[in-house]
A and B are shown apart, each in its own frame.
Chain A
Amino acid sequence: MTASAPDAPAAASGEVLVAVRSLSKYYMRGDQIIPVLVDINLDVGVADYIALMGPSGSGKSTLLNLIAGIDKPSSGQILVAGVDIAQLSDGELAAWRAAHVGFIFQFYNLMPVLTAFQNIELPLQLTDLTRRERRERVETALALVGLTDRMEHYPNELSGGQQQRVAIARALISDPTLIVADEPTGDLDRATAEEILGLLERLNRDLGKTIILVTHDPKAAEHARRLVHLEKGVLVY
């Protein structure tokens, strides 16, 4: 595991997938400017696995949201595979996310009225794949996360760990360039959290998936290849 200095953004591998340049984000509260991220520079390489750490309110989730294209920066650039996503319209950004980003959330964010199979299939509804092709992909993803026998179960019939594995399968299903995980083990017990972190590690190691993990759990961060700390909106090391 290595850490990168905030003023010397670096990627673990040679090829840079995500390049964050002079990124700032602030909110307005009346006339007052509330800075959340200040002049962030960061590179994430292809097949990298970095953990963003920091205390609550440090801006780590905001940085993750900006890189994932679900929030817009106040200034600066976010280049993902050469595309400056800060310049994309809402529609373009939605299409970009569908094709390039897999999301894993703390509370899984599965659709309660859909089965595990249907939840994993959900992102594929935006593609031109046939029903048969979608089924094959979902079955592969289910096998990868070890939930083949639970495919017809609804989220409320699954444990927290199983739900998070469904969410990971959903994140993988469209073969995204980048997987972002916001406190994926925050709602799980230690043993289950280790299972999930082991699964993410395998995705990175065996499938070469680029992962950005937000956590304030040092044990979770140990699974990443690289560690980045944020404090009060600034990268500190």
Chain B
Amino acid sequence: MFVPLFVLRNAFRHKLRTTLTMVGIIVAIVAFGLLRTIVDAWYAGAEATSSARLITRNAISLVFALPMNYAQKIRQVEGVSRVSWANWFGGVYITESNFFPQFAVDAATYLELYPEYVFKPEEKKAFQVDRQGVVVGRKLADLYRWKIGDQVPLRGTIYPGTWTFTLRGIYDGADAKVDESQFLFHWSYLNETVKARFPRRGDLAGVYVLEIRDPGQAAEISARVDATFKNSLAETLTETEKAFQLGFVAMTEAILVAIQAVSFVVIVIIMAVMANTMAMTARERYSEYATMKALGFGGGFVAMLIIAESLSIALGGGLIAVALTIPVADIFGNAMGTLFPVFFVSHETMLMQIGAALVVGLVASAVPAWRAGRIRIVDGLRSVG
């Protein structure tokens, strides 16, 4: 019990200094956790994907749609069990700032391919039978305080006009990684309306979603699908759902690299601050360390005391920071609305935060501990703290 007691009493000997150092560590580790969570949120779409789903899109660009008759041909490709499709709608709810993803989906098949969207059976049925019905994620419904039966108008941008939907269902994610900010309505409603107004834009799908029997065969099945449409007017590019999502992430990779760099710079800065604190602390106590060595304690023991003190301050700050990161991330996630549909502090991030705190404590104490461990007793006894 002597060593922990001695270490803790020494750690809080200068309460203001230790408190300020801990505050610095808390701020740095919270910032680190928040930045890591932002990076995780960026990848959330890819993380929530299923290895049993493939996405087929136009090989030239996602901007160009694919003919509706491709669905039947894709269904016949060996290894494909089910096919559905979706169109990006890109409407505006009241103002442009109210951004959330809106897809026109084939109601009969799409929800079957996404079992992670958990519905009440009656709400799912109500959606299926209402051509103007819409289902939304819980986060989106909560954000705009929508209730079942509410009318939700969207101003079309890709598909001009005002589109009014009736909220028929609200889904919950099967786990925290599922995006609960989606707005899914009937592709048939979109298609029929568009065909009436702009006949050449009808019977087109933005992407096809394929369910495959064996995820291990994803590459072969993708190649077979694309081969089916080789040399056609609309050649396809088929990839796993994860690769499809990562394609979006790649567009903003520079931002992600910058965020990751900043998260590590924050840790390096607090490491330098704490190293200065520990150096100052050790220098003030050279006389005490020399006395301990004179009494028979080894240089290694003295060094260990400094390392343990540094680790206890850093770990204390780190644990408080981890506890604070969760509510801070909640506040931040809510403030961001649907920009980060999935925003939660993962266990990996928490472990990284604790690891970062330990590294800060260890690195900050390395030089002071080495010096104190090697100090000559006669020199230490002469030093004035």
Contacts and interface: CB of A to CB of B under 8 A. Distances in A.
Interface in B117-172: none
A125 B10 CA distance: 17
Interface of B: 2, 6, 9-10, 13, 287-288, 291-299, 376-378, 381
A111 interface: yes
Interface size class of A (residues with CB under 8 A): 20 to 34
A113 B13 contact: yes
A114 B6 contact: yes
A87 interface: no
SS class of chain A's interface: helix, strand, loop or mixed?
Answer: helix
Contacts, number: 56
Given A109-B291, A113-B13, A70 B297 contact: no
A105 B291 contact: yes
Interface string A46-72: 000000000000000000010010110
A151 interface: no
Contact of A94 (B2, B10, B298): B298
B378 A65 contact: yes
Nearest to B382: A61
Contacts of B9: 113-114
A123 B296 contact: yes
A109 B381 contact: yes
Contacts of B292: 111, 122
Interface of A: 65, 68, 70-71, 90-91, 94-95, 97-99, 103, 105, 109, 111-114, 118, 122-123, 125-126, 170
Nearest to A171: B295
A97 B6 contact: no
A68 B294 contact: yes
Given A103-B294, A113-B13, A170-B295, 8 more contacts: A70-B381, A91-B298, A97-B296, A109-B288, A112-B288, A113-B9, A118-B2, A122-B292
B295 A103 contact: yes
B296 A95 contact: yes
A99 B296 CA distance: 8
Contacts of B2: 118, 125
The 7 closest A-B pairs by CB, nearest first: A98-B296, A113-B9, A70-B377, A109-B291, A97-B296, A71-B378, A123-B295
Contacts of A170: 295
Contacts of B296: 94-95, 97-99, 123, 126
Contacts of A68: 294
